[in-house]
Every structure is written in C-alpha cells, then in structure tokens.
Structure 1
C-alpha cells in the first residue's frame, strides 16, 4: 500500500487521542464500540468532540467501519497504524522526514527518510499477511480465518523481534545496519550506502566475497542463530569505499525477523538452504563453483585456496555464543508455538517457492542477454516485478491493494 502522510500535519491533538484510543481498544475488540472509543480518549470537551474526530479519521481512512457489524464501532486501518508509528518517531526525532520508496519486500516496504539532525535513515514497515506481490493468484494464509487486525498485531511483533535481533547482533560486531528505533510495526535503521547483491554484475574480488559471506553464516550459527533467508536480496554490497577492503567485509546483511536457533528441529535444513542460496548465486552470476581441496590446510575460509568449498552444519558449526537464547529465537528451547512463530514458519517455507521463481527469472535474463554479457541495472531490474512496483511507486502511480496492503501490479 502507498504510504501517504500528507494528512498528518492536519490532525489535531483530539484526532491523535481518538486514533490511539481505537488502537488501545483493538487489544480487546475486533471492532471497538464508538462509546468505548470516547471513554478511552477521555476528551475534555466530551463525546461530541470524539464523534467529530471519529468522523474525520474515517474520512481519511485511518479507521473504518466493519460491514454488517452487530454494533456501531470502528477498527484501525493499516493507514492509521502507519500514522501512529510515524507520530512516535517524529516525537522522538528519530524520523522526521519521509522520502521515496526504495524497496518492496515479501513482507515489508522500505522507505528513505531523515532524522531530526538531517541524517539519512531507512524506515522498514512490516506488513505480514499480504498476498504475494508477484502475482494476484498466489495467496498466503498464515492464520486461517483471521482478519487484517491479526496481521497488524503480528507485524508489530515481527518488528519488535527484528529490532531485538538487530540490536544484539550489532552490539556483537556482526555486519548489519545499525538499528536506531522501532514503534509498532516499523523499524528505523541507518542507511546502507550500497545496493542489493541481486544487482551485482561484476566484482574484482568475488571469490573473497564468497568466502566472507560463507564465514558470516558460520559465525552467526556459532553464536546460535540461522538467518533462514540468506540470499542476494538480503545482502547489501557496500559501494561507498568507507571500509578497509583488505580486512573488512564489503557487505551488510539485512532482514532478520525469521531467524531461528541452531537448536531448532529444522536448523540443519535451513542452514543448508542458506548455503545453497549463496552457492547458486555465485555459480549463476560468476560461473564460480569451488570444490573441496584436500591438498589445502586452511579451514578459516571457504572456496578456492581453502580446504572446504562451503560450510556444512554438522562439521563447521560449533556453539561459542548464546544469542539465540538471549533473544529467545524460535527453537532455542521446546515450547508451545506462538502465533508469530506460526506466521514466520510459513514465511520460511514460502521462501522456497520465491527462490525457484527468482532462479527462473535469472535464467531467462541470461538466455536473453547472455551469461557473460555486462548490462546496466535498469535493463536487468526492469524484468523484475518487484522493481516494477518500486518504480511505479516512485513515480507516484496509484497501485491497487488488497485488505492486507498488498500491491497489485496489473499484467
């Protein structure tokens, strides 16, 4: 869904109190009774002002009525949820200016922005529950028979979980963007000066990059975590030159809400899948597919010049940290699954389908342009439905959405 903040400046104090009252009432009501909204808002001027604010908020689609409801009431929309999160950031000055759309993920939207000091920031808005943005036909249902309100709650939990993951990983020296703040279903982080590895066409040290990416995966697992979506879409290649290419990795890793513990029952499966994502990308893009070499003694890296071509869970993962226990990652101990874990578990399984689509798309590109042909970002990326959606949003085009905020790109 397109994030339109133009009306934020026109909302007064009463409007914000009523909007927050609807949010608070949603914790116990799918549809919050109008009378209860007024009671929670507790406006000094009484129910008349509350009714006026409710009417104005409904006109702006920040709250909405449910058809055929048994009583008069309203519920929060995704637009209203967005406004409340942005209001919190603005008050704390962690994000005071919102820029253009810079990315559309499977379960999130990414925007550029600035904080109160003018520093460039990135806003990630979690939107769990949207149908696939690749095609209108493929629908997901992580929680059967649940409405958008449940997805709003799960998106909030996912943002909180990702912020927790990012904070502890950043504090432990992992190559990730610095997390700055979160509110409801949104996370603010530092801007990464780079581009997704998906767009990488050449690299003067691609063999070293391959080894570093594999080492990151093992380092993360040694500290108790597996990424579960470690691919070219969630790895940012740094292009600003602000690092020592001889000693520092030239990449950062993003997107962490689906991480699991190495104690998870499917840990080895997901670790192997992450490894295969990297192997497949380098073979497809650079024709690089190293083999184990028993003549080599160096086991500190992977690929050419090292003993092993790629990491193996049972051989290379040795716990030296307990980050999974600190953040209570999925599988760190036997416990009853939560609603969030059910949703994220479905997301992890769905990634297999999107990876197959990505591979077919890449093969089609290579058939059309040739695997050795160097071509520009615009030529390669316009073939991607995701990039077409981003471009449409940047140009201000109004895209249709479903009730979960999914973008629908007409074929």
Structure 2
C-alpha cells in the first residue's frame, strides 16, 4: 500500500521497510502493519490534536510533569511552542508507560521507540499468526472468564503499584493471544498520585473489565476490586503480590436512633440541671447577703 506521509521518514531512515496494511483508525491514532527487516510490527501514528476526538484530554494530562522549565511554562501559557511540546508529552506518555509496565510484569506490546509521533511496537498475534482479537470479540467459558478476570485485576494492581492508571481501560483496549490478555492503548495513562481524577478513573477501568467478564461469569458482577485496591493503595499497603478478595468491609451497623435520642435528652437534662444549680447557687448567695443585712 501507499506509505502514509507520517511513516515515510521512518522508511527513509531504514526503521521501516514496508507498510503492508492499515490495521485500524481510532479516536486518537491510526495503526498500520509494517515490516521491519524480517519482523512484522505495527506503527501507531498519532493524530494531530485538532483531529483527535478523545474527550476531556485535560483530565488525563493533569499531574504530568515536564522537567524542562521552559517547556513547562510554554505549556501552561498555551503558546504555539507550548502546544507542540504538549503533543510530544502526550505521544511519549504511551511509550514511557509501555516500558514501565513491561518491567513491572504487565503484558503490553513491546515498544521499539517513538519517532516524530509514530510509535513502533510489537504486533500481538494469535496462535495462527493473525492479528490477535480484541477482548470484545472473544467469548469464553465461565471458568476462563474468572481466570482471565483474575489476571486482569493482577495487571491493574501492578500498574497502580508503579503509580499508573490506564484511564480508558475496557474490552476494546485489551487483546487476547494464546497466552491471555494484553493491555494496549496507553497515551492517556494517568499518574495515580498526582491526578485528582485518579480514583474514579481506576474505578471505571476496573468496573469496565468486571462488567465484560461478568457476562460469562455472573458472580463477578458482585465484586468490588476497585474499592479494595484504592483503599490499600491509599494506606500504602498495595503490593504486586497481594491477594485481593474483591470484597470491601462496609460499615453495616445501623444507627440506633433511640439510643442517640436518649443521649441527646440526657445531655439536655444535664445542661438544664447545671443551669439550675448555678441559678440556685447565685440566688443562695444573694439571699444570704440579704438575710445577713437584716440581722
């Protein structure tokens, strides 16, 4: 096929030998299957900001830090240079997350570098060598659903342990090869400790995955892994090896209204009694003075 304009520089530099086909076009990027020597990989071409349809991008960028102070100031001001730098940060976020998560033991495509808005990475295939299907195209037994759901919860825990939340995780951002789930699409990954939206993004990620697998294993719909993960994370007790239960100890003790009202009445009576004693003491002093003068 014709080489896309954005990939041409990689061909010129010998990083890509051939573009064989377009794999998909999404809200933030287009993905192509490419040949690099004897290896088949994929090239993710990020769309320009004006062409992206990803909603609420600012919510995902919150907390991302830039070491270069000049770049940071430009990004805050929203100048042309600042917008250009913001795009680079957005694009590099995915390759940085891929390296970080692979090291943490999360199954993600292996990255081979990001070159001017084009991310070269591993092409995930099935056992027959075809492009691996997305999770939303896969059906499974209840037993397999429970097993893969457990794997995914483990991956999300490992992500959180290195300070990352996917931010847009669902059955559409997970591939399934012969070894199980592989998490993809990470340019919007958020810093769990610096983003004010971190907790609800984690909850949405976890619940999206839970809801999909619960179609095959209904008992999963009652689990509360997001609450459990976040509670442990906030207490500094979350570790990659932790065994989660999917349950959260809720405070189920109902308020005893009668007892509360009794305490309120007792407090009122005590205060009334105290005021009466004060009044009696004051009156008693006055009366003693009056009686003394009479004598």
DSSP 3-state at the match of 1:195: coil
Aligned partner of 1:213 in structure 2 is 152
DSSP 3-state at the match of 1:270: helix
TM-score of the superposition, structure 2-length normalised? 0.61
TM-score of the superposition, structure 1-length normalised? 0.45
Distance in 1 (alpha carbons) for counterparts of 2:169 and 2:15: 28
Aligned partner of 1:272 in structure 2 is 203
Shift of 1:132: 4.1
DSSP 3-state at the match of 1:290: helix
Q: Tell me, yes or no, if structure 1 residue 261 matches structure 2 residue 188.
A: no
DSSP 3-state at the match of 1:314: helix
Shift of 1:158: 2.1
> For 1:192-231, what aligned pairs fall within 5 Å after superposition?
192-193=124-125, 194-203=132-141, 205-231=144-170
Give a deviation string over 1:229-251, Cα, whole Å, max 9, x none: 1111111101xx3x4xxxxxx11
Shift of 1:168: 2.3
Aligned partner of 1:18 in structure 2 is none
Aligned partner of 1:310 in structure 2 is 225
Contact 1:227 1:259 in 2 (8 A): yes
> For 1:241-260, what aligned pairs fall within 5 Å after superposition?
241=178, 243=179, 250-260=180-190
Aligned partner of 1:96 in structure 2 is 17
Aligned partner of 1:11 in structure 2 is none
Contact 2:104 2:159 in 1 (8 A): no
> For 1:151-170, what aligned pairs fall within 5 Å after superposition?
154-170=86-102
CA, structure 1 residues 287+95, in 2 after alignment: closer, same or farther (shift >3 Å)? same
Pick one of 33, 36, 39 that aligns with 1:119.
39
Distance in 1 (alpha carbons) for counterparts of 2:205 and 2:23: 25
Aligned partner of 1:174 in structure 2 is 106
> For 1:301-380, what aligned pairs fall within 5 Å after superposition?
310-312=225-227, 313-317=229-233, 318=236
Distance in 1 (alpha carbons) for counterparts of 2:31 and 2:149: 26
Give a deviation string over 1:44-88, Cα, whole Å, max 9, x none: xxxxxxxxxxxxxxxxxxxxxxxxxxxxxxxxxxx4xx1xx532x
Contact 1:224 1:319 in 2 (8 A): no
CA-atom RMSD in angstroms: 3.2
Contact 1:160 1:184 in 2 (8 A): no
CA, structure 1 residues 126+155, in 2 after alignment: closer, same or farther (shift >3 Å)? farther
Distance in 1 (alpha carbons) for counterparts of 2:187 and 2:94: 4
Distance in 1 (alpha carbons) for counterparts of 2:57 and 2:151: 36
Distance in 2 (alpha carbons) for counterparts of 1:158 and 1:253: 18
DSSP 3-state at the match of 2:42: strand
Q: Tell me, yes or no, if structure 1 residue 282 matches structure 2 residue 197.
A: no
| Structure (1 or 2) with the greater helix fraction | 2
Aligned partner of 1:106 in structure 2 is 27
CA, structure 1 residues 319+189, in 2 after alignment: closer, same or farther (shift >3 Å)? farther
Distance in 2 (alpha carbons) for counterparts of 1:206 and 1:94: 39
Distance in 1 (alpha carbons) for counterparts of 2:107 and 2:92: 20
Distance in 2 (alpha carbons) for counterparts of 1:126 and 1:289: 39
Q: Over alpha carbons, which structure has the higher Rg? A: 2
DSSP 3-state at the match of 1:315: helix
Q: Tell me, yes or no, if structure 1 residue 5 matches structure 2 residue 3.
A: yes
Contact 1:152 1:185 in 2 (8 A): no
Give a deviation string over 1:165-212, Cα, whole Å, max 9, x none: 212222332210100121111100011011111211235611111111
DSSP 3-state at the match of 2:27: coil
Contact 1:110 1:122 in 2 (8 A): yes
Distance in 1 (alpha carbons) for counterparts of 2:100 and 2:56: 31
